[in-house]
Amino acid sequence: MLRAVNVGHKSLADYHSIVSRDLIAEVRALAQPLEGKRVLHINATSFGGGVAEILYTLVPLMNDAGLVADWKVMHAREEFFHVTKALHNGLQGGDHVLTADERTIFERYNLMNVGGLTEEYDFVIVHDPQPILMREHAPIDGARWIWRCHIDLSTPNPEVLDFILPMVEGYDLSVFHMAQYIPPGNRMPQPVIMPPAIDPLAPKNMALTPEDAAYIVDQFGLDVDRALMLQVSRFDPWKDPLGVIDAYRIVKEQVPELQLALVGSMATDDPEGWDYYQRTLDYAADDGDIYILSNLNNVGSVEVNAFQTHAAVVVQKSIREGFGLTVTEGLWKARPSVAANVGGIPLQIVDGQTGFLVDSAEQCAARVLDYLRDPDRARAMARRGKQRVRHDFLTPRLLRDWLGILTRLSPG
């Protein structure tokens, strides 16, 4: 059955010094007609990914704005998450097609969790493919249903896409990061474009002094007086941690003192991550300057913040990317950034102005070297990157966009 997530309390007033007054005023104006409306968010897990991080801020801010918002996650076992990982990969273009048994498992867990929909809501927002079938069997009458897709469906495996299309056609509206992510065929209900955002006041993004960041990084055995190259991401082939190691090794030939940290989180809905975590460890071999860390090493939000704040260069060498919130996080901390020219990353990084976009390990290494050799330019680009995030990719803007969507779906 669905399990409620306790999100605590947040106040929009706390963001007054971070975002513009006009944005705050716009949020308040949009929220007023929606006061008292009930909103339910549903997804697969309450930790370990960007969706969960977004909801921990978005849901309490919706409540602060006057709505009544809840967040519930699916109850499922490992067999379901093996299937949904294959589904996720297929929707991003992977070769695997779900077997009859896998489809049965997917349907069984969706039907089982539908039993947790016992309250009435005005809006139900389903995040990503895992709970997508719940709309078809939901007992809630009168609610408007929204499918929020956080992944890139631009080049899906056709058979995998055909599997979910009948499920999403019953929704009132669909939301994507970018127009390019909408799959071909125009079968998505009323598609809307809305990039995600980060919470600047969350432990992962709140301001840390350089001294505090260095103290935390030092606890993990790194030499805080030597340059650090960093990637924060899941251990996943799409994030290409092995390619990051390749780039690091190229840079290290020129900068022998360089260190590399690969920092991730092991999520319950990503069983493949455990295998790729081990593969990354094996690929690093016995290099004592490569640090592979995760929540298994007690790395939490504050620790990730410290690594990002302390890093000389933050990289994100993804092969495919939904949006790349770890890029947003690094930019917000005014860190020199190098990231792959894929997915939503080019929305955030203007190549050569707010960071560098690359297409290979060799290019990644060259740009890291550019930063290390010209720290003044690196700092100037990083400052511009932070301002871009302030304007476009912080949670109050995301809240405004959601309120606009709910207004659009409201009767009358």
Closest CA to 56 of 7, 91, 119, 112: 7
Looking at residue 412, its pLDDT comes to 61
CATH code of 79's domain: 3.40.50.2000
108-159: per-residue pLDDT in tens? 999 999 988 989 999 999 999 999 999 998 877 789 999 999 988 999 999 9
* Shared-domain flag, residues 306 and 340: yes
pLDDT at 39 over 90: yes
Residue 366 and residue 401 share a domain: no
**Distance (Å, rounded) from C-alpha 80 to C-alpha 52?**
18
pLDDT of residue 271: 64
The continuous run of DSSP H or E covering 23 comes out as helix 21-31
**Residue 202 domain-assigned?**
no
Residue 169 lies in a domain: yes
Looking at the predicted structure, is the pLDDT value of residue 328 above 90? yes
Question: Do 262 and 114 share a structural domain?
Answer: no
Residues of the domain holding 277: 210-392
pLDDT at 100 over 70: yes
| Statement to judge: residues 336 and 402 lie in one domain | no
Q: What angle do CA 56, 341, 323 make, to 5 degrees?
A: 15
Q: How many whole angstroms from its chain centre is CA 327? A: 10
Residue 270 pLDDT class (50, 70, 90 cuts): low
**95-101, long-range: CB within 8 Å, 24+ apart, which pairs?**
95/157, 96/157, 96/160, 97/157, 97/159, 97/160, 98/159, 98/160, 98/163
* Model pLDDT, residue 283: 97
On whether both 332 and 274 belong to a single domain, the answer is yes
**Are residues 169 and 244 both part of a single domain?**
no
Residue 186 has pLDDT above 80, yes or no: no
Residues whose CB is less than 8 angstroms from the CB of residue 400 and which lie 6 or more positions away in sequence, other chains included: 23, 26, 27, 30
Residue 49 banded pLDDT, cuts 50, 70, 90? confident
Backbone angles phi and psi of 192, in degrees to 5: -125, 145
Indicate if 169 and 249 belong to the same structural domain: no
Between CA 381 and CA 359 the distance in angstroms is 20
Q: What is the number of structural domains in the chain?
A: 2
3-state secondary structure of 73: strand
Domain for residue 130, yes or no?
yes
Q: Mark whether 71 and 160 lie in a shared domain.
A: yes
User: Mapping DSSP to helix (H, G, I), strand (E, B) and coil, where does residue 337 land?
Assistant: strand
pLDDT in tens, 358-389: 999 999 999 999 999 999 999 999 999 999 99
Pairwise CA distance, residues 177 & 274, whole Å: 27
Q: For residue 161, is it within any domain? A: yes
| Residue 278 belongs to a domain | yes
Percent over 90 (pLDDT), the chain: 83
Predicted confidence (pLDDT) per residue in 169-184, tens digit: 899 999 999 999 999 8
Domain match, 231 and 178 both: no
Residue 268 has pLDDT above 60, yes or no: no
Q: Are residues 160 and 225 in the same domain?
A: no
Q: Is position 298 within any domain?
A: yes
What are the φ and ψ backbone dihedral angles of 68, each rounded to 5 degrees? -115, 100
229 within some domain: yes
Give yes or no: residues 372 and 268 share one domain.
yes
Residue 204 lies in a domain: no
Let me know whether 130 and 30 are in one domain.
yes
pTM of the entire predicted model:
0.91
